[in-house]
Structure 1
Amino acid sequence: DVSFELIRSVDLTDLYEYMTWLSRERKLQPATRARKVSSLRSFFHFLQTKDQLLTENVVNALELPRQVKRLPRYLNVEESRQLLNAAASATYEYAERDYCILTLFLNCGLRLAELCSINIRSIRDEKMTVIGKGRKERTVYLNGACLNALDAYLAVRPRTAKTDPEALFISRLGRRISPKTVQYLIKHYITQAGLDPKRYSTHKLRHTAATLMYQHGQVDIRALQQILGHVSIATTEIYTHIDDRRLHQAVESNPLAAERLSRPPADTDEANIEEQN
């Protein structure tokens, strides 16, 4: 049993041994181990400040495991077209809806919850309003592909709407489409497109939109931050590490990149002098 005497006896060496055990024996990743540290800090902080059973929080001196940021997976242009074509070739009643959903994901970089919460009245001309994290409202601009897909879907939507008339995307039951349903649809079309459903998910479509905009849209990182609705630019900066091709192009675009060393043939007398030296 764990007693307060045992907790009071815990020192920094014990904590580092625990972290080593989590890594070597439990095979836990750095992110998981970091959450363990966070939980321990909160627990020891409670014992120190609320119950006053500890005089200090020894966990505060424990360093967090170093985490390597993984680059997000995304579809390239050709794979994105394959996915859209899979929905475009569908012949069932809700094909226009599904195609529109995929188009908005791939062009606007929406979060799953944002897409499901879109109302028809939120769309005005070439832009729409979405509610992001923290109930923050932001404007999303719609390109030609989005407008075309929306027009095609709205042309058939009135015939299927039964309840929740404000919702843009509705389910077969006439209700606002649920995140779970959208995830199922995305997985279905990823499979239909010949892509790996284990590798790509709904959120990967958001990564795809962000990456393609950054690679092909000449968009700077601040603009991309606003498009995606990120509070911190640090979250957006991960996309700057994806495009090594642009880094290479940037170096090649230097006006001095074409300069080459060009020297006349060595004079015979000078060559002899070099040999003597």
Structure 2
Amino acid sequence: MSINYEGQVAIVTGAGMGLGRSHALGLASRGAKVVVNDLGQNGQNSEAALAVVAEIKAAGGEAFAHHANVADMDQVQDMVAQTMAKWGRIDILVNNAGILRDKSFGKMEMSDFELVIQVHLIGTANCTKAVWDIMKEQQYGRIVMTTSSSGLYGNFGQANYGAAKMAVAGFMNTLCIEGHKYDIKVNCLSPTANTAMTENLIPDQRILDLMTPESVTAGLLALVSKEAPNRIILATGAGGYARAIVYETAGIYLPPEQQTPENVLANMDAISDPSEQIELQGGWMQTDKFVAKAAKALGVDLSPKQ
């Protein structure tokens, strides 16, 4: 199997440098027409975005730059309108744009919390909303949200970033259900790479040399291919690839007279027992599980009425 994107159009946000640049170049090298989004100033494209476009064109590809701030829906809609006017379709959206405003939560200004949420979560929602109906109409789309281990697992000084990055995973969980019948597949990429966002966090150059953006882009290209999975959180870094999955334990049932906080704490080991944990595919599955436990314990017949 050889993956290519001939005839497809991709938008990559935050593509002027780092992972976004790598993603844009990777898509273009396999035939995609690419919109290189990077935050410009005063309605002008950034030099970084223009440099990526020039690199793509020099290699024989097609690309143009757009300066949209992803947190501004009007600017995002302008980017999408220009894309449709030029190429008539949008097949791939890579939500990559992001910023950091790291500080321990006790010292963090709420303005910095809100700014990070605006860029990572609202920016992702803006771009996705702007292409959603286009992808539905053409009965095809591939969307990637960029999550993070800081959201999935936590990281000191990144309460704002972690909250936003966990939120985009929840966003994916619903969109992959709603987009399924339109062949819109939605996945998350959880990357770690040597970029401007990490260079001051990891002082050892030997480690940074292993964390190439290109190794992460290999995972991204898989998630936006025609053969892509759906609802995957793909963790990538330094040539490693893994899947992060949210599991829920089987849990326990307490009868009404035992439903007290003391009994919940007393049974925490049993509640936490992972032996029968499963990956839930929708919120309704949790409800079904708990109702079934209660019905079985109380002898309630929930079989469909004739």
Structure whose alpha-carbon radius of gyration is higher: 1
Higher relative contact order (Cα pairs below 8 Å, separated by 6+ residues): 1
More strand by share: 2
Q: TM-score range by the shorter chain?
A: under 0.3
**TM-score, normalised relative to structure 1:** 0.22
